[in-house]
Structure formats: structure tokens, C-alpha cells
């Protein structure tokens, strides 16, 4: 049996990412958003897994439920922000926590199983006293807590990887949530963007082509050099033959003189 998982899921920067040139989609009657490819299927898969207990942890607050309506899933509990009475109690229990981190600690205070928190910008918010920095420090020694950052690193960004749930992190997310049967559904829906395809070309196909071109060029150069060497040898032989026959008249004269000398004797 799969171990229960308490999932804290952010919206902006995770399943909702505004991009240049992308047309907003109507999420509800009064709300628009920029769902990443496969966002609807992702929410539906989570909702269908009985071992996953999802909670919204987003600045959308109670409006997070419009994403449940949009994806035709059940309404999930909203973890953020805390009600005033909850916040006061939470601060007493976790005086060094704040903001989203405080909400996560409060809602997971009695949870005895695994916790997965999917958020954008864990590694970008590592400053002293930051809520996310405190969350990272809390999770590092805790084997039951896994934080997943949907912001690509500088190296990944240079490769064209984009923020949000994408091809580059969906396998990690599926593993963290023990999603096995529906993995292919997500992989088929979360298509690699053009930048990812460009990256694949630049990292794999183009260098391979360049390597082949270099090999072919070397082969051509070697073949050309060999041909030139043969041509030089032919020229030398031809010159030698020419030298041997360069005075045929003198050769014939010697034969004639030989016969003349023979007749005289």
C-alpha cells in the first residue's frame, strides 16, 4: 500500500505561468490564467490518487478553488493564508516560522507521513530570515519532507528550461508523489517546448553532426593528400620516362655508327 502523502501545491509559477505571446485562458467567469501544458491533467491525476492529500498553498487563497472547477476536481483544502485565530496559535507553536512556511508547519503539525511541497523559488529565496530559506533548513534534515522547486537553476535556464511543471521536472514530481500508472498521461500532455527541443538539438544532434562532418572532412583531406601523393609519383615517373626518351635521335645515331663500324671491319 502506498504511504499517504500530504501535498502542498502552489499555483503561480507552478501550474500557472504567464509567458510572452501566450493568450490567457478563462479559468472562471471572473478569473483568467496561464495554465502550463498538462496542468489540467496533472490536477486530475492528483485528485484520482487516494494516497495524495492535496492542499492549496497560494496567494490565490480561497480563490484557488476556481482551479478545481476548471480542472473538474474536488475542492481541496486551502492552507494559505491562515485565519487570524489559526495564525496566533501557529506562531506560538512555531515562533521562527512565517508566511507560507508557517502555514505548512501548522497544517502538517499532526501529520506522521510524507510531505511534498511544490513551490516556485525555494532556491531564489535563501536570504537570511526569509520564509523559504527557513523552509529549506527545516526540510534538509527531515527525510519525510521533500521540497520541489519549479524555478529552473541558472544552468537550466540557459538551456531554455521554463518555470512551472514542465518536461524537465515532471519525472521528479511523479516519483515524489508515487504516481506510476498515470505517468505516461502526464508525459504525453506536458510537451517539451520549442526551447527544449532546441536544447536537445544543440546538446545531442548538432554536436553529433559536427563530429561526423569533422570525420568526413578529415577523410576527404586524407584522400586528397593521398591522391596528390600518387599524382606526384606519376609526375616523377613520367619525368624519368621523358628523360630516358628526351634524345631519341642520338640513340639511333649510335646504332647506325655501330653498323658502320662493323662494315668497315
Q: Where are the domains of the chain?
A: 5-191, 199-264
Does residue 240 carry a pLDDT above 60? no
All cell numbers assigned to 265: 671491319
Q: What is the spatial distance between Cα 69 and Cα 83, in angstroms, rounded to a whole number?
A: 23
Those residues with Cβ within 8 angstroms of residue 6's Cβ, 6 or more apart along the chain or in another chain: 53, 55, 107, 108, 111, 113, 114, 115, 116
| Stronger pLDDT, 263 or 166, i.e. the higher one | 166
pLDDT of residue 186: 85
Q: What is the spatial distance between Cα 12 and Cα 36, in angstroms, rounded to a whole number?
A: 10
Percent of residues, the chain, with pLDDT higher than 70: 70
pLDDT of residue 233: 59
For residues 137-149, average pLDDT: 96
Do residues 131 and 147 make contact, with C-beta atoms less than 8 angstroms apart? no
Q: What is the mean pLDDT of the chain?
A: 81
Indicate the pLDDT class of residue 245, thresholds 50, 70 and 90: very low
Residue of 79, 75, 78 whose CA lies nearest to 43: 75
Please tell me the total number of residues recorded for the chain in this structure.
265
Does residue 265 carry a pLDDT above 80? no
Residue of 150, 104, 156, 90 whose CA lies nearest to 123: 150
Supply angle C-alpha 159, 160, 162, rounded to 5.
130
Percent of residues, the chain, with pLDDT higher than 90: 58
CATH number (3.40.50, 1.10.10, 3.40.120, 1.10.340) of 5-191 reads: 3.40.50
pLDDT of residue 208: 47
pTM, to two decimals: 0.73
Q: Specify the DSSP class assigned to residue 77.
A: P
pLDDT of residue 181: 78
- Helices (runs of H) and strands (runs of E) counted in the chain: 11, 7
Amino acid at each position: 500500500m502506498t504511504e499517504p502523502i500530504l501535498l502542498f501545491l502552489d499555483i503561480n509559477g507552478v501550474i500557472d505561468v504567464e509567458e510572452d505571446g501566450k493568450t490567457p485562458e478563462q479559468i472562471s467567469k471572473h478569473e483568467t490564467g496561464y495554465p502550463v501544458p498538462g496542468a489540467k491533467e496533472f490536477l486530475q491525476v492528483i485528485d484520482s490518487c487516494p494516497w495524495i492529500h492535496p492542499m492549496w498553498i497560494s496567494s490565490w487563497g480561497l480563490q484557488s478553488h476556481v482551479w478545481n472547477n476548471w480542472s473538474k476536481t474536488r475542492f481541496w483544502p486551502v492552507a494559505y493564508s491562515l485565519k487570524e485565530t489559526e495564525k496566533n496559535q501557529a506562531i506560538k507553536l512555531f515562533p521562527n516560522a512565517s508566511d507560507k512556511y508557517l502555514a505548512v508547519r501548522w497544517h502538517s503539525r499532526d501529520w506522521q507521513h510524507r510531505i511534498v511541497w511544490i513551490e516556485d523559488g525555494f532556491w531564489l529565496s535563501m536570504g537570511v530570515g526569509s520564509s523559504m530559506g527557513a523552509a529549506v533548513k527545516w526540510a534538509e534534515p527531515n527525510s519525510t519532507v521533500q521540497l520541489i522547486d519549479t524555478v529552473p537553476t541558472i544552468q537550466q535556464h540557459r538551456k531554455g528550461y521554463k518555470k512551472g511543471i514542465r518536461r524537465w521536472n515532471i519525472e521528479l514530481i511523479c516519483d515524489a508523489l508515487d504516481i506510476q500508472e498515470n505517468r505516461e498521461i502526464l508525459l504525453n500532455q506536458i510537451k517539451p517546448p520549442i526551447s527544449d527541443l532546441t536544447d536537445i538539438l544543440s546538446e545531442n544532434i548538432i554536436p553529433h553532426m559536427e563530429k561526423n562532418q569533422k570525420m568526413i572532412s578529415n577523410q576527404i583531406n586524407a584522400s586528397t593528400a593521398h591522391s596528390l601523393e600518387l599524382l606526384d609519383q606519376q609526375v616523377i615517373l613520367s619525368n624519368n620516362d621523358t628523360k630516358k626518351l628526351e634524345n631519341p635521335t642520338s640513340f639511333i645515331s649510335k646504332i647506325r655508327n655501330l653498323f658502320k663500324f662493323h662494315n668497315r671491319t
